[in-house]
Copies of this chain bind each other. A is one copy, B any other.
Amino acid sequence: MNTFETNIFKKSIMHVGEMASGAKLTVPVYSFESQQICPQLKIPNVYIQANMHGAEVQGNAVIFQLLELLKNCDIRSNITLVPNANPVACNHKNGEYTLGRFDPITGVNWNRMYHFDETVIEPFAKKNIEASEEEIRASFQQLLLDQIEQKLDHNIWGLTTGQQIAYQLQRMAHQADLVLDLHTGPISSKHLYCPEYAKASACYFDIPHTIFIPHDFDGAMDEATFCPWWSLQQAYNKLGRNFVMGEGIFAKESFTVELGSQEQIDLAVAQEDALGILSYLQYKGVVANNSNQDFLPQKMTRYACYLKDYKALYSPMGGMIDYLAEFGKPLPAGEPLARILRMDNYGDGDPLHNVSLDREVIPILHFASASVNQGTELYKVFSEYFEI
């Protein structure tokens, strides 16, 4: 019988910035420190954040449901949960909508500002070529933390608004082994960005579409947390000390979880999403299953594609879009994804233009508005895919 107490998540407030009026920007941090940590078992620590992009709010509701569910779980490691991760972004309205993908002053994507300096990897591996695994793990993690600290510890030139936020989040993520960054698409099915080496984990989430991403660093949270370890493992292998990525001290995993559409909160759906995450965490040993609860992944067809085959389709003309293609279902070659209405062409041109592709694809998401310019991203699709 389950007799453990309700788990208490400690709340702290992180100061991430200041607006022109002097208004302080803060982020709440919920953390659980396991009393049962057993060093031999090496249960991975967990970091989950939500709402780095301002309009992508559903992750906050998922963290709410996770907190509610985790209260009564048998937790075996440390878990940190950060909702409302980017108050600048989530508070920025233009008209009724939230302008949340990029800094409104500079245009820089909020999820491209994390830090990774690849030049430190090889020297570290060389210097620590003989170190024990645990020594490597500890000192490399410290190196990553030191680098962030150095950035945050104001050099004379300062940091951008986004770096200020990103580095403080990254400092927490670097202390975890499993990192989930909760996002959404514009109008979108659920999908998962998963590092290629972590394929096995993709089936433990209740998400039907997975994009396998390579190890290149492009500034995002998921990359910022697994790329350093991937690079380190590569460096060691090159030096003749062989490690396997995803195992032992390299058992690091990091996912961007796309929960559906932006600009929406649905607490009922959030509970399902939370259960899917608990399924993954149970698989990793973070929560123990017991007679009361056993978090198992749902049975579903899961499609995957490689990042290079995850394609954006840009509108061939300006106009107004009737989006037709259903998400998550293979669409035969030649079938219309969308119709473009061009009333200015009525009477002396073509008022309706069908958009289709010459190959079968699985539509994953489409643009958030019916009005598009020539060159606006209409759809993102799996252009090659396979079941997993």
Query: Which positions in A face B, CB cutoff 8 Å?
Result: 9, 11, 17-26, 28, 30, 54-55, 57, 60-61, 63-64, 67, 83-84, 87-88, 90-109, 154, 156-164, 186, 263-267, 311-322, 339, 341-348, 351-352, 357-358, 367-377
Contacts and interface: CB of A to CB of B under 8 A. Distances in A.
A264 B30 contact: no
Contacts of A343: 22, 28, 60, 63-64, 83-84
A105 to B, nearest CB: 5
Instruction: Work out how many copies of this chain go into the complex.
Output: 4
A90 B341 CA distance: 14
Nearest to A345: B22
A348 B11 contact: yes
Contact of A60 (B97, B158, B161, B320): B320
A322 B311 CA distance: 32
A317 B21 CA distance: 10
Nearest to A50: B343
A188 to B, nearest CB: 12
A263 B371 contact: yes
Contacts of A19: 87, 90-91, 318, 373-374
Contacts of A161: 314, 373-376
B109 A107 contact: yes
